[in-house]
């Protein structure tokens, strides 16, 4: 159907409902809306969205005009029968929620009627891995939960139990085997973190910590790891006061355990280390174990020696006045000279284990 034709049809029947609102025809119009066959009523109005999804606001306004006082019933009951698939129902009511939340009257109606609570509770169950929903249904539920949290932030302040449940669902989804679900959960957490950091929402630190742990939990899956790192880089750049240690410390611990086993480096890792090295909140005692790891790569892995040299030199230059860093440099130079002498003597370049400085304590600025 032509876009303009659909748009004018919606305007016409919306105007028709408005004109007959306080007449004896109002009940007949409502009956037409909810009881018509496939050819008319609400089915015909909603069908417009299959061809022209950007007419959602016109469709919502049309239904509002027909369903005075019964909007919640239509959204909760009738539309569930029209869209029996959880995937379709969640998608359509998400579109409706965005339009309705912009109008104070209908926003208040959604809240006071308990419909927002119903959507939150239903989608927490749908998003969780209970075996009753497909990965696609879980994915759309995760996106809807994030949208509801953004649209009705005050409601989640009042329902701390639901907010905590949503965060748990996001954490589980972020390590799910189904990649689209995993990426969706991570994307929504980054979106919430960005919004909540600006408004000083008390859930921002919890979401940030969850993302830091997701980096560790997804370390073996390079595509997901790269996605998290690239988004964290943006977070570090836009939020210079964010405590970078929440990311650095668990990541370093994971590198010590999994390096070369389940954690295999690529160029994105070293770009991420550069972002960490630049961050103003990085402290010396957090930098030392990262310097240690980068130094080992520099000496033992020719493939990435050049990549790691930049973050390594940035960290050393930045914290050169720290006693722990200077102590490490002495050990590093000792090992480097030993390797050079071995080469000169014709013994060949062997992989050398650099003395660990993980327990070295900063004496100057690392407290």
Angle (CA) 360-362-363 rounded to 5° is 120
In the chain, what are the helix, strand and coil shares in percent, each to the nearest 5?
75, 0, 25
Is position 295 within any domain? yes
Across the chain, what does the average pLDDT equal? 88
First to last CA, the chain: 68
| 155-207 per-position pLDDT tens digit | 998 899 999 999 999 999 999 999 999 999 999 999 999 999 999 999 999 99
CA distance 154 to 206: 17
The pLDDT value given to residue 347: 52
The pLDDT value given to residue 244: 96
The pLDDT value given to residue 30: 77
> What is the residue whose two structure tokens read 């990965």?
135
The list of the chain residues with pLDDT below 70 reads 1, 36-39, 346-367
Is position 314 within any domain? yes
The pLDDT value given to residue 99: 95
The pLDDT value given to residue 346: 67
The pLDDT value given to residue 45: 86
State both tokens at 163: 């907010």
Is position 268 within any domain? yes
Is position 65 within any domain? no
The pLDDT value given to residue 88: 94
Is position 137 within any domain? no
Q: What is the pTM of this model?
A: 0.85
Is position 285 within any domain? yes
**Residue 357 structural domain:** 218-367
| 52-84 per-position pLDDT tens digit | 999 999 999 988 888 877 889 999 998 998 899
Helices 41-51 + 86-101 axis angle, to 10: 90
Task: Domain count for the chain, please give it.
Answer: 1
SS3 189: helix
Neighbours of 360 (CB within 10 A): 21
Is position 169 within any domain? no
Is position 229 within any domain? yes
């Amino acid at each position: 159907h032509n876009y303009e034709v659909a748009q004018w049809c919606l305007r016409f029947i919306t105007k028709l409902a408005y004109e007959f609102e306080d007449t004896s025809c109002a009940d007949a119009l409502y009956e037409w809306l909810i009881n018509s066959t496939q050819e008319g009523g609400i089915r015909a109005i909603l069908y417009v969205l299959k061809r022209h999804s950007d007419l959602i606001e016109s469709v919502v306004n049309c239904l509002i005009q027909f369903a005075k006082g019964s909007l919640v019933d239509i959204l909760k009951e009738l539309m569930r029968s029209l869209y029996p698939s959880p995937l379709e129902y969640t998608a359509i009511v998400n579109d409706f929620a965005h339009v309705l939340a912009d109008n104070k009257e209908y926003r208040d109606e959604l809240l006071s009627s308990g419909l927002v609570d119903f959507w939150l509770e239903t989608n927490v169950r749908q998003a969780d891995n209970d075996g009753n929903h497909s990965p696609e249904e879980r994915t759309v539920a995760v996106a809807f939960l994030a949208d509801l949290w953004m649209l009705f932030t005050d409601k989640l302040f009042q329902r701390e139990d639901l907010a905590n449940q949503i965060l748990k669902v996001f954490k589980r989804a972020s390590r799910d085997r189904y990649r689209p679900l995993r990426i969706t959960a991570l994307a929504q957490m980054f979106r919430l973190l960005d919004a909540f950091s600006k408004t000083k929402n008390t859930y921002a630190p919890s979401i940030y910590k969850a993302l830091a742990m997701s980096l560790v939990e997804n370390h073996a899956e390079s595509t997901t790891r790269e996605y998290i790192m690239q988004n964290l880089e943006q977070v570090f750049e836009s939020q210079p006061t964010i405590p970078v240690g929440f990311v650095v410390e668990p990541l370093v611990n994971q590198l010590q355990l999994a390096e070369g086993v389940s954690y295999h480096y690529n160029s994105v890792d070293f770009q991420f280390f550069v972002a960490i090295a630049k961050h103003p909140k990085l402290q010396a005692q957090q930098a030392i174990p990262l310097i240690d790891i980068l130094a080992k790569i520099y000496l033992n892995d020719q493939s990435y020696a050049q990549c790691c040299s930049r973050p390594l030199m940035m960290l050393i230059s930045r914290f050169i006045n720290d006693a722990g860093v200077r102590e490490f440099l002495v050990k590093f130079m000792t090992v480097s000279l030993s390797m050079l002498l071995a080469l000169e003597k014709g013994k060949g370049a062997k992989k050398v284990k650099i003395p660990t400085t993980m327990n070295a304590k900063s004496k100057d600025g690392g407290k």
